[in-house]
Amino acid sequence: MIVDVNVNLSRWPFRRLEFDATGPLVTKLRQHGITEAWAGSFDGLLHSDVAGVNARLATECQTRGDGILQPVGTVNPTLPDWQEDLRRCHEDHGMHAIRINPNYHGYQLDDAACDALFQLAGERRMIVQLALKMEDVRTHHPLMQVPTVKVAPLDALVTKYPHVPLIIMNNYGTIRGDAAARLAQAGQVYFEISHAEQVGALEKLVQQVPFQRLLFGSHFPFFNLEASLFKFRESRLGGLMVEAIQTANARRLRASQR
């Protein structure tokens, strides 16, 4: 029984992915023991009609998710009336979390719009998922160069909103040891494991932040689902830590927001 907090529906804009249809994606998740998947939408990166993106995502999860998919809405605070998008996510679609992509949407973490987003998310007791990148910058389309999110303002943002649960996603070498530990201590900051790709990745992660702040994430279908599962096969972590990272931490986090 695994909770995957980093799954995407719809199509990646620049190439087809093997499991970019919801039916085969859900089947694959079930085959590998995923019982709950927090799913955003690739459409949220580039589409300006965010309300439409979130409505389609909610419908897709409800009608084709087979009880596994939990929708995570996109909010872009640079768009007009983004507060209404957040309200719809929470009230109309019953979403427990939102996903933000500052690098694709053209703002920084110390912008006033981002501050306002965290304030409203906190008032609604919603989890914020921050994707630092979506793919390796070396493979970007030449006309679509998107730098990794600049994380220097995170310390101040987390210190100001320590009660807002924040999941750092797709973190490969961007936030390292001491900085990750400092963030975890300053607020409710969690890290998912999809981009921890070195040998002994899990052992190194638990040396940096408490295992209670680590979550299972796969970045599926952009990454192979098996890649995150193999991290546990090679790991020497004990059963309590494994169960916490794969399931208990995510369920405890979600329960705390109700």
Average pLDDT estimate for 101-123: 98
Instruction: Give per-residue pLDDT as tens, 204-237.
Output: 999 999 999 999 999 999 999 999 999 999 888 8
Q: Are 220 and 227 in contact (CB under 8 A)?
A: no
The CATH number of residue 164's host domain is: 3.20.20.140
Rounding to the nearest 10 degrees, give the CA dihedral for residues 171, 194, 190, 106: 40
Domain count, the chain: 1
Residues 6+ apart with CB under 8 A from 87: none
Residues 6+ apart with CB under 8 A from 256: 165
Exposure on the CB side of residue 42, measured as CA atoms within 13 A: 20
Exposure on the CB side of residue 149, measured as CA atoms within 13 A: 28
Question: In this structure, what token pair is assigned to residue 187?
Answer: 């607020």
Residue 258 has pLDDT above 80, yes or no: no
Instruction: Give per-residue pLDDT as tens, 236-248.
Output: 888 899 999 999 9
User: 250: helix, coil or strand?
Assistant: helix
Residue (of 77, 148, 174) closest to 118 by Cα position: 77
Query: Which region among 50-54, 69-73, 182-186, 205-209 has the lowest average model confidence (pLDDT)?
Result: 205-209
The residue range of the domain holding 109 is 2-256
Question: In this structure, what token pair is assigned to residue 157?
Answer: 């943002």
Q: Are 107 and 77 in contact (CB under 8 A)?
A: yes
Q: Are 153 and 131 in contact (CB under 8 A)?
A: no
